[in-house]
């Protein structure tokens, strides 16, 4: 049975978990999608993490697809919480799409901090793409690597 795709723009859909101005949702079979809509406060970061940990429960592998087009900044306490918390999720890659330079720097800092504390950091690369389609293709390639 095919799973209906999530309409990420439908704020009334409970699958679209809103934290502050930001959206996160789980997309079958193994993608946590996140869209930043401005700066992420500490409270925003903690709420996103809480929801993403719930999405990760029981999963063998996961990928992040992050729309960072509007990401301005992540509060320092939020960055620290992300680095400490996401090391517990079986991430196998993070595709960041549409990120301007400032968002690339912020995202790279957070991901580098996460990977510093992971035993399996070599399996959680970060890659930047101009389009979602490119990011999805990269995730599909990564997924195939771990399906063997």
Of the candidates 2, 69, 67, 47, the one whose C-alpha atom is nearest the C-alpha of residue 29 is 2
Q: Give the per-residue pLDDT at 1.
A: 36
DSSP code of 8?
Answer: T
Question: Taking the CB of residue 93, how many other CB atoms lie within 10 A of it?
Answer: 22
Predicted local distance difference test score (pLDDT) of residue 114: 73
- Phi and psi of 116, rounded to 5°? -60, -30
Domains and CATH numbers, the chain: 17-147 (3.40.50.10600)
The pLDDT tens digits for 128-145 are 999 999 999 999 999 999
Interval 63-82: pLDDT, tens:
999 999 999 888 989 888 88
Structural contact between residues 53 and 17, judged by C-beta atoms closer than 8 angstroms: no
């Amino acid at each position: 049975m095919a799973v209906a795709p999530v309409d990420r723009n439908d704020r009334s859909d409970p699958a679209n978990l809103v934290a502050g101005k930001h959206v996160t949702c789980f997309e079958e079979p193994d993608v946590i999608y996140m869209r930043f809509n401005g700066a992420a406060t500490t409270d925003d970061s903690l709420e996103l993490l809480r929801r993403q940990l719930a999405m990760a429960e029981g999963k063998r592998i996961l990928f992040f697809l992050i729309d960072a087009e509007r990401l301005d900044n992540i509060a320092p306490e939020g960055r620290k919480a992300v680095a400490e918390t996401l090391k517990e999720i079986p991430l196998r890659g993070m595709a960041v799409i549409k990120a301007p330079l400032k968002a690339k720097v912020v995202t790279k800092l957070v991901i580098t901090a996460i990977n510093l504390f992971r035993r399996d950091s070599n399996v959680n690369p970060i890659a930047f793409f101009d389009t979602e389609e490119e990011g999805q293709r990269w995730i599909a390639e990564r997924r195939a690597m771990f399906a063997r």
